[in-house]
Amino acid sequence: MILLAPIAALGRSTLALMASIGRVAIYCAHTLRHIFTPPWYPKEFLTQLLQIGWLSLPVVGLTALFTGGALALQIYAGGSRFSAEAVVPSIVAIGMARELGPVLGGLMVAGRVAAAIAAETGTMKVTEQIDALVTLSTHPMKYLTAPRVVAATLCLPVLVAVGDSIGIMGGYLVGTTRLGFNPSNYLHNTVDFLEFWDVASGLVKGAVFGFIVALMGCYHGMNSGRGAQGVGRATTNAVVSASILILAANYLLTELFFTA
Interacting residues with another protein (CB under 8 A) = 39, 41, 120, 124, 127-129, 131-132, 134-138
What is the closest distance, in whole angstroms, from the C-beta atom of residue 136 to another protein in the complex? 5
Closer to another protein by Cβ: residue 124 or 239: 124
Please state the closest distance from residue 131 (CB atom) to another protein, in A. Answer: 5
**Nearest of 46, 52, 37 to residue 153 by alpha carbon:** 52
Cα 118 to Cα 111: distance, rounded to the nearest angstrom: 11
Sign of CA dihedral 170, 175, 179, 182: negative
Q: One-letter amino acid identity for 63?
A: T
Least CB distance from residue 220 to another protein, whole Å?
19
Q: Which residue, 200, 241, 196, 199, is CA-closest to 223?
A: 241
The nearer residue to another protein, 138 or 223, going by C-beta atoms, is: 138
C-beta closer to another protein: residue 41 or 193: 41
Of residues 51 and 243, the one with the C-beta less far from another protein: 51
CB of 41 to another protein, least distance (A): 7
Whole-number Å distance between alpha carbons of 59 and 92: 20
Min dist CB 54 to another protein, Å, is: 17
* CB-nearer residue toward another protein: 27 or 209: 27
Do residues 46 and 149 touch, judged by C-beta distance below 8 A?
no
Helix (H) or strand (E) holding 232: helix 227-258
